[in-house]
């Protein structure tokens, strides 16, 4: 399959007064799977529909393989989409659904039938070709929708929250299938979701959107380990956001006093005296005995969630959320404890 | 794209260079014009221009062929789009300008006579002019599409353009023409004083009935009738709806069937039945005289009779509106009220009824509009009680023949109806408590409180019996000598109307007197149903799936013709289409066109309702799979809209079979319709024949509805047919 690059240059989309996408520029690398992640109403689906040609950009340009497709209608773009509701044509059988796009570009009958069958085989739906969509389970319908999209060998494959109508168990299975299929075909894929776990699990790159702009983009690991804003820190995984003061400066190295604990952090940008830092809950450790560089705290909530314990403690820097894998020797409510911090789990936020 | 442009240039040229430019006597499809072909009579525009000295037709060729210059230009250049837009506008404007300026007596306006001197006369536009005109419309829409309108989609821009042109031509132009007649003096000039003279008339506005025995003005009569009928039909409709939804009444199905019957009943059949039952020599009157010595009188003629007949006719319509309203009151709200310690009666009074209030008001306004527009019942039962719709008719048809008076009355009626329509559309349309949440409402509607239940039963059951009786009479009345007088079995009415004879030398002879009008009615109904459904569904698709400037005005324009009373359509068509450039009175075509544009709004409504049930992602999926908007419409939308298409086809067919108000003005000797034939029989007191004809019509309609359903078929969505989740999309 073709490996194509998709590029947004200063793209804006307005619906009357509301701005759905605000001056976005980004690149979707050829042959990769990029996820657009964000809360509802952040503009992620609109961005996807702009690529599909279902919406027209108000300003800016969209390129597919260096061809400006900004003004091209959906019909004429070499882009396929898997819809959230699947949008299978209910009056057509499975094979009719899959071959629909080929028929529209006048592919001869033997060829489109053969291609459709091959694609159905690829998604594991051979022998279902005569069924009507209403006679399939949710997961099977989803695979028909995927088959219908990839049979056209599009330059770009789009997914609009494809798993949201499946139950939790099936969701993991299907997302692995999608990733596997994408790797096999090597097609540039853009995937929209609001589920951060899903995004981290399948993507080469994640673009986090908030309020119509890109909040941050990067590899899943980078996003988790180095969130730039409190929004990203909170949206991807859990984070404790704490305000703190810079005490010493030495080029890129800063010393902070964090509730009595001295810590060293480094940053490429020039920091103000007061900064916010994000602490991942699993990088905070609770201990019974006082040691160096520790802080007194009190357990004010402890809940057992199966594979770990979740605590909320009150300390001199405020309430902190902590996750601990220790489930046997756990701490009790109102117990007086101490906490220590792993310096690698601390990120300085830009906002 | 190039192919499309070439074919339209060819179509336009065919119309201009080859086909007859003017109307041909017997219509295009009779080959008479080919057999007696001559340049003078049946020539194309070019031929006519030289043969008849109609030189003003020659310049049309310029805008027609101008787009040929576009062939070397690129699609998306300014030059390309402008060339098409301006050629189209130029051609279209010139075509109509010459059409309106030069008529059957030469120049229509003195000004031109003094400017340009004498010209030859010309007749109405024919097939050639129509094709050329269509080509110009295509040029305009193609140019706009090339300019990037609606994503440059030719199909969408073309459809919108065509519908706008058609609606303007067949809805707005006639109404406008009628308005101008309201200002016309007997001498032919147009002045405001003519309008005010006719408008300030005691016969229209007089209030004599309040203080004396004389009748009131026709406006007050009309308003009284509208209020009374709307009130009674709404109350009864609500009763029926409550009975069906909120009680476990045993004969629900029977009532549902009974409630559909009046829709397929020719308009004044109910009036006729009422006369036969309650008239001076009616069955009930005779019985009352025999039993209680009550002198038979003509009390039924006038307001009581009209009110009675309209209530019978409009209750089913109000029922159909209100059953939706009653059903849509969310049971969970009523259950919430019950859990808050409200009794059945309190639930009904404080929750159910207030939630239904906007729907009830809506049904009332609908009944009011229907009553004002009704023509058949006031005509048959009115007596001395004049209402606007019948007055308009008598102003044009009767001995007084006063076009201005007809136009003035029509303007008044139109204002009343449009005001109600606007009220219903703007105010009540939005004020609705019905909310579709998408969450399943699994509650159960509570039963009616006992007082309401008793009230409902005691009005609805006698009413149903009465309705039933009337239909039995219509069915069997045709088989007796004269209902109420002589009940001996006879087939003579059937023989008179529908006899068929076989003669060995001349074959089958349709000797019955009704055959001519029956076949015309049937054919007109058959020909008008498909275009009605097509335009309706296409409009619905454009309105629900595409955003464009002026969409609201577009929607309002397409819905408007439904609110315009048939009488007004009829009068305005007569005013507008009996002179060139569009000359088609006393043809079958005018009947078909009047039906199409009168019934189109129902197609639109049915289409919009059905489109809203379809997940918009289905169209988008089709578009991303390389299908053009036309292919999407054809492959996805149409198959899924089959139920709506069937509904629109059936409705327009039935309306065409039973309409009277508009067509009474438009029928002619060759193209008589069933309803006007029946009316003629009624005027001669030939009730037997009228009844026979009505029952044959009802049976024909039932049969045709069945055939339409078989032909169009059901949409197949698999084993579990009509699995709704697919159409709605399983969102969240």
pLDDT tens for A146-171 read: 999 999 999 999 999 999 888 888 88
3-state secondary structure of A82: strand
Q: Do A74 and B623 touch (CB under 8 A)?
A: yes
- The band of B732, judged by pLDDT with boundaries at 50, 70 and 90, is very low
pLDDT reading at B616 higher than 60: yes
Q: Which of A18, A72, A73 is nearest to A41 (CA)?
A: A18
Residues of B in contact with A56 (CB under 8 A): 151
Q: Does A305 touch chain B (CB under 8 A)?
A: no
Q: Which of A55, A87, A135 to mutate to test the interface with B (most CBs of B within 10 A)?
A: A87
CA–CA separation, B687 vs B705, rounded Å? 27
Q: Say which residue, B181 or A81, is predicted with more confidence.
A: A81
Residue B482 has pLDDT above 80, yes or no: no
What burial class does residue B13 get, using C-beta atoms within 10 Å of its C-beta: 0-12 exposed, 13-18 middle, 19+ buried? middle
Q: pLDDT at position B459, please?
A: 82
Contact across the interface for B627 and A104, Cβ inside 8 Å: yes
Q: Tokens 């009157």 correspond to what residue? A: B285
A51 to chain B, closest Cα gap in Å: 11
Q: Do B151 and A100 touch (CB under 8 A)?
A: no
Q: How far does the CA of residue A75 sit from the closest CA of chain B (Å)?
A: 4
Nearest CA to CA, how far is A80 from chain B (Å)? 6
Which of B545, B546, B610, B624 should one mutate to test binding to chain A, selecting the residue with the greatest count of A CBs within 10 A?
Answer: B624
What strand order describes the sheet that includes A59-64?
Answer: A18-28, A6-15, A59-64, A67-68
Measured between beta carbons, the chain B residues lying within 8 angstroms of A75 are 623, 626-629
Could you tell me the two tokens for B37? 């072909």
The C-alpha atoms of residue B548 and residue B550 are separated, in whole angstroms, by 6
pLDDT, tens only, B348-401: 888 888 888 888 888 898 899 889 988 888 988 888 888 998 888 888 877 777
Q: Among A180, A191, A239, A172, which residue's Cα sits nearest to residue A37?
A: A191
ipTM of the prediction = 0.79
Distance from chain centroid for Cα B477:
30
pLDDT confidence bin for B327, thresholds 50/70/90? confident
Residue B729: what pLDDT? 44
Rounded to the nearest angstrom, the minimum Cα separation between A40 and chain B is 12
Domains assigned to chain A: 6-231 (3.40.50.300), 239-348 (2.40.50.140)
Rounded to whole angstroms, the Cα distance separating A42 from A39 reads 6
A300 touches chain B (CB under 8 A): no
**The predicted structure's pLDDT at residue B350:** 80
Q: What is the mean pLDDT of chain A?
A: 89
What residues in A contact B74, CB-CB < 8 Å? none
For residues B513 and B496, the answer to whether their CB atoms sit within 8 Å is yes
**Does B627 contact A133 at a Cβ distance shorter than 8 Å?**
no
DSSP B329: S
pLDDT at residue number B430: 53
Question: What span, in angstroms and rounded, lies between the C-alpha atoms of A95 and A121?
Answer: 11
Q: Say whether pLDDT at A13 is over 90.
A: yes
pTM here is: 0.81
Q: Convert the pLDDT of each residue in B92-131 to its tens digit.
A: 999 888 888 887 777 777 777 777 777 777 777 888 888 9
Closest of B130, B137, B138 to residue B1, by C-alpha: B138
Reply yes or no on whether the pLDDT at B143 is more than 80: yes
Of B173, B228, B256, residue with least CA distance to B367: B228
Comparing A268 with A295, the larger pLDDT belongs to: A295
Confidence check: pLDDT of B726 > 50: no
Q: Which of B623, B720, B726 sits opposite A75 (nearest CB)?
A: B623
What pLDDT shows up at residue B267?
Answer: 72
pLDDT digit string (tens) for B249-296?
A: 777 777 777 777 777 777 777 888 888 888 777 777 777 777 887 777
pLDDT at B724 > cutoff 50: no
Rounded Cα–Cα distance for residues B167 and B554 (Å): 10
Q: Where in chain B is the domain with CATH 1.10.3720.10?
A: 205-433+442-450, 515-728
Contacts of B639 in chain A (CB under 8 A): 91
pLDDT (tens digit per residue) in B247-259: 877 777 777 777 7
Q: Does A91 sit within 8 Å of B639, measured CB to CB? A: yes
Q: A83 vs B639: CB contact, 8 Å cut-off? A: no
**Is A81 close to B626, i.e. CB distance below 8 A?**
no
Which DSSP category does A105 fall into?
T
Name residue, tokens 């390389």.
Answer: B626
B interface with A, Cβ–Cβ < 8 A, is 148, 151-153, 615, 617-618, 620-629, 631, 635-636, 639-640, 715-720, 723, 726-727, 729-732
Q: Is A137 near chain B, with CB under 8 Å?
A: no
Q: How far is CA A158 from CA A52, A182, B271, in A?
A: 8, 11, 64
SS (H, E, C) B596-642: HHHHHHHHHHHHHHHHHCCCHHHHHHHHHCCCCHHHHHHHHHHHHCH
- Which tokens hold the place of A281? 């809950």
User: What's the pLDDT at A259?
Assistant: 76
Pairing mode, if any, of strands B486-489 and B480-482? antiparallel
Return the closest-CA partner of residue A156 out of A63, A87, A58, A46: A63
Average pLDDT over residues B635-649: 87
With beta carbons under 8 A apart, name residues in chain B contacting A91.
639-640, 715-717
A105 touches chain B (CB under 8 A): yes
CA distance B59 to B61: 5
Which of B151, B625, B719 minimises the CB distance to A101? B625
Q: Is the pLDDT of residue A271 over 80?
A: no
Asked: is B515-728 a CATH 1.10.3720.10 domain? The reply is yes
**Order of all β-strands in the sheet with A274-279:** A261-266, A253-258, A240-250, A274-279, A346-348
Sign of the dihedral through C-alpha B312, B316, B322, B323: positive
What would the pLDDT profile of B431-468 be if each residue is shown by its tens digit? 555 444 444 445 667 778 888 888 888 888 888 888 88
Q: With beta carbons under 8 A apart, name residues in chain A contacting B618.
A: 87, 89
- Per DSSP, B350 falls in state I
Q: Which residues in chain A (43-82) have CB-CB distances under 8 A to chain B?
A: 52-54, 56, 71, 73-77, 79-81
Interface test with B, best of A54, A68, A78, A85 (most B CBs within 10 A): A85
Q: Note whether B718 contacts A84, CB cutoff 8 Å.
A: no
Q: What is the mean pLDDT of chain B?
A: 81
**pLDDT tens profile B582-599:** 877 778 888 899 999 988
The fold for domain B205-433+442-450 equals: MetI-like fold (1.10.3720)
How confident is the model over A339-346, as a mean pLDDT? 83
The 10s digit of each residue's pLDDT in B386-395 is 899 888 888 8
- Hey, is the C-beta of A95 within 8 angstroms of any chain B C-beta? no
Note the pLDDT tens digit of each residue in A77-99. 889 999 988 888 888 899 999 99
Whether omega before B581 lies within 30 degrees of 0, making that bond cis, reads yes
Q: Judge: A52–B631 Cβ closer than 8 Å, yes or no.
A: no
> What residue of A is the nearest CA neighbor of B621?
A87
Residue B728 has pLDDT above 60, yes or no: no
Which residue has tokens 């030189």?
Answer: B55
């Amino acid at each position: 399959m073709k490996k194509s690059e998709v590029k947004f240059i200063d793209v804006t989309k307005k619906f009357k007064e509301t701005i759905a996408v605000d001056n976005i520029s980004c690149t979707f690398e050829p042959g990769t799977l990029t996820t657009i992640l964000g809360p509802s109403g952040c503009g992620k689906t609109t961005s996807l529909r702009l690529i599909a040609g279902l919406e027209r950009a108000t300003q800016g340009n969209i390129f597919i393989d260096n061809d400006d497709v900004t003004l091209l209608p959906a019909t004429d773009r070499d882009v396929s989409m898997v819809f959230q509701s699947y949008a299978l044509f209910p009056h057509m059988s499975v094979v009719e659904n899959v071959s629909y796009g080929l028929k529209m570009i006048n592919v001869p009958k033997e060829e489109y039938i053969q291609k459709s069958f091959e694609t159905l085989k690829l998604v594991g739906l051979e022998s279902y070709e005569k069924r009507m969509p209403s006679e399939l389970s949710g997961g099977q319908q989803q695979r028909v929708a995927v088959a219908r999209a990839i049979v056209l060998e599009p330059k770009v494959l789009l997914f609009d929250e494809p798993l949201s109508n499946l139950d939790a168990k099936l969701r993991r299975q299907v997302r692995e299938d999608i990733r596997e299929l994408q790797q096999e075909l090597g097609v540039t894929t853009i995937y929209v979701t609001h589920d951060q776990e899903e995004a981290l699990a399948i993507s080469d790159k994640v673009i986090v959107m908030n309020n119509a702009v890109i909040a941050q983009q990067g590899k899943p690991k980078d996003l988790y380990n180095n969130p730039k804003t409190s929004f990203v820190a909170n949206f991807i995984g859990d984070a404790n956001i704490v305000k703190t003061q810079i005490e010493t400066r030495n080029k890129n190295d800063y010393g902070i006093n964090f509730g009595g604990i001295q810590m060293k952090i480094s940053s490429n940008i020039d920091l103000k005296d007061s900064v916010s830092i994000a602490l991942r809950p699993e990088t905070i450790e609770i201990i019974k005995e006082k040691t160096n560089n520790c802080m007194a705290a009190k357990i004010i909530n402890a809940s057992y969630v199966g594979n770990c314990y979740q605590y909320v403690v009150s300390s001199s820097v405020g309430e902190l959320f902590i996750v601990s894998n220790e489930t046997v020797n756990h701490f009790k409510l109102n117990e007086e404890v101490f906490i220590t911090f792993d310096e690698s789990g601390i990120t300085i936020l830009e906002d | 794209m190039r192919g499309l442009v070439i074919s339209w240039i060819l179509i336009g040229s065919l119309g201009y260079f080859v086909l007859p430019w003017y109307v041909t006597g017997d219509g295009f499809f009779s080959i008479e014009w080919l057999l007696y072909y001559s340049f003078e009579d049946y020539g194309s525009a070019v031929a006519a221009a030289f043969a008849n000295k109609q030189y003003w037709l020659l310049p049309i060729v310029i805008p027609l062929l101008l787009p040929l210059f576009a062939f070397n230009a690129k699609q998306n250049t300014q030059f390309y789009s402008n060339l098409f837009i301006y050629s189209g506008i130029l051609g279209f404007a010139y075509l109509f300008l010459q059409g309106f300026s030069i008529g059957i007596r030469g120049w229509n306006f003195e000004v031109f006579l003094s400017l340009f001197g004498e010209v030859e006369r010309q007749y109405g536009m024919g097939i050639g002019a129509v094709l050329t005109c269509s080509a110009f419309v295509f040029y305009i829409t193609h140019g706009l599409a090339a300019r990037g309108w609606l994503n440059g989609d030719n199909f969408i821009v073309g459809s919108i353009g065509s519908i706008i042109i058609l609606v303007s031509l067949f809805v707005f132009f006639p109404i406008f023409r009628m308005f101008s007649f309201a200002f016309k003096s007997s001498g032919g000039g147009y002045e405001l004083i003519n309008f005010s003279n006719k408008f300030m008339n005691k016969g229209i506005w007089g209030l004599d009935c309040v203080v004396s025995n004389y009748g009131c003005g026709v406006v007050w009569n009309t308003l009284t009738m509208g209020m009374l009928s709307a009130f009674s039909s709404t109350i009864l409709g609500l009763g029926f709806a409550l009975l069906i939804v909120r009680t476990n009444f045993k004969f629900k199905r029977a009532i549902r069937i009974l409630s559909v019957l009046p829709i397929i009943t020719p308009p004044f059949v109910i009036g006729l039945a009422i006369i036969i039952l309650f008239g001076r020599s009616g069955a009930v009157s005779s019985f009352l005289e025999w039993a209680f010595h009550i002198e038979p009188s003509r009390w039924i003629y006038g307001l009581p009779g009209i009110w009675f007949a309209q209530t019978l006719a409009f209750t089913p319509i109000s029922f159909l509106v209100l059953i939706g309203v009653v059903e849509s009151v969310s049971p969970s709200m009523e259950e919430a009220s019950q859990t808050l310690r409200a009794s059945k009666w309190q639930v009904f009074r404080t929750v159910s009824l207030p939630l239904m209030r906007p729907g009830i008001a809506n049904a009332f306004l609908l009944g009011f509009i229907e009553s004002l527009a009704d023509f058949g019942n006031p005509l048959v039962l009115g007596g001395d009680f004049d209402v606007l719709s019948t007055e308009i008719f008598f102003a044009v048809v009767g001995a007084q023949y006063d076009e201005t008076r007809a136009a003035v009355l029509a303007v008044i009626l139109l204002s009343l109806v449009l005001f109600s329509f606007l009220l219903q559309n703007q105010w009540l349309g939005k004020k609705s408590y019905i909310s579709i949440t998408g969450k399943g409402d699994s509650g159960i509607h509570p039963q009616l409180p006992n007082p309401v239940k008793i009230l409902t039963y005691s009005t609805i059951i006698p009413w149903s019996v009465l309705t039933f009786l009337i239909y039995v009479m219509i069915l069997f009345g045709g088989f007796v000598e004269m209902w109420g007088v002589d009940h001996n079995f006879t087939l003579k009415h059937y023989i008179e109307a529908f006899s068929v004879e076989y003669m060995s030398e001349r074959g089958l002879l349709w000797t019955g007197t009704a055959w001519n009008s029956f076949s015309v009615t049937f054919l007109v109904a058959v020909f008008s149903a498909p275009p009605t459904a097509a335009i309706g569904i296409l409009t619905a698709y454009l309105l629900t799936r595409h955003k464009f400037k002026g969409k609201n005005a577009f929607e309002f324009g397409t819905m408007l013709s439904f609110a315009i009373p048939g009488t007004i359509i009829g009068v305005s068509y007569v005013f507008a289409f009996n002179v060139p450039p569009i000359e088609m009175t006393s043809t079958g075509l005018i009947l078909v066109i009047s039906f199409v544009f009168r019934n189109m709004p129902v197609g639109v409504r049915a289409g919009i309702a059905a489109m809203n049930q379809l997940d918009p992602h289905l169209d988008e999926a089709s578009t991303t799979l390389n299908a053009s908007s036309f292919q999407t419409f054809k492959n996805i939308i149409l198959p899924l809209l089959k139920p709506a298409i069937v509904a629109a086809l059936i409705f327009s067919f039935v309306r065409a079979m039973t309409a009277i108000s508009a067509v009474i003005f438009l029928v002619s000797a060759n193209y008589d319709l069933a309803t006007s034939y029946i009316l003629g029989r009624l005027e001669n007191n030939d009730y037997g024949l009228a009844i026979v004809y009505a029952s044959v019509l009802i049976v024909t309609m039932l049969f045709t509805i069945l055939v339409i359903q078989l032909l169009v078929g059901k949409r197949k969505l698999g084993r579990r047919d009509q699995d709704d989740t697919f159409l709605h999309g399983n969102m969240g």
